[in-house]
Amino acid sequence: MTSSQDQAYYRDTYLFGTEATVIDAGQDDAGPWVAVSPNIFHPKGGGQPSDEGTVNGAPVIPSRTEDGLVVLATEAEAPAVGSAVVCAIDETLRKRHAALHTAGHVLGHLGEARGWQSTGHSHYPGQARLDFSPEGFEAELATPELRDAVRAELQEAFDAVLARGGAVTATTDETGHRTVTIEGVNAEPCGGTHVSELSQLKDVRVLELKIKRGALKVRYEAEHA
């Protein structure tokens, strides 16, 4: 079923509504579910929360099955396979997630440019952060004052990236591996949603650097312009 599902959210972050066809449907412990194509719903994954939205006006919760199919849990009666449905996602939420996720790519790159090794990330609104290994960089991170100086340097570097601007593009190869490229920054494998131009980011703030249980945690926030 996976190959027959067109992941429209891979191509267009700003497709907030579409007509689609039900390609699969079923029932599990949580209730009825449907899978539609084209699919505009981003399921939770890669540190990014799932979209919220509706199918034929009924709220759905997207998730991804082990074989890569995006399924939509619903409390309403699932429409029959083959039927046409109207899909919509929460536009504000999608744009917020895309802004946070894209800012996370840039900040990850700026941390790696300092020699830090990425160990994890979360792009959830209100708690977005990147984790790095501080190994080898303990001296520059030893005190709150030093960490705040590094934070200011990261903010300055981020502002410089935003001042330059650049396109954000994604390609998916024939095996399904997707690469997201930020012009002038980097390219990395990613299945999330992103803004299409860095100028769409605003209010990017590097908030705080913390060392916790041997990990360097860099909190940040970003909004969609």
- Of 85 and 190, nearer to Zn ion (C-beta) is 190
Q: In a 3-state reduction of DSSP, which class is residue 133?
A: strand
Least CB distance to Zn ion at residue 46 (A): 6
Which residues sit at the interface with Zn ion, rule CB under 5 A?
101, 190, 192
Spatial distance between the Cα atoms of 129 and 148, rounded to a whole number of angstroms:
16
Distance (Å) of CA 183 to CA 16, 154, 161, 170, 172: 25, 19, 10, 11, 17
Least CB distance to Zn ion at residue 194 (A): 6
Spatial distance between the Cα atoms of 28 and 85, rounded to a whole number of angstroms:
21
Least CB distance to Zn ion at residue 31 (A): 30
Kind of pairing between the strands at 53-55 and 58-64: antiparallel
- Of 134 and 192, nearer to Zn ion (C-beta) is 192
**Among 113, 107, 124, which Cα is nearest to 201's?**
107
Least CB distance to Zn ion at residue 94 (A): 14
- Of 33 and 158, nearer to Zn ion (C-beta) is 158
- Of 96 and 210, nearer to Zn ion (C-beta) is 96
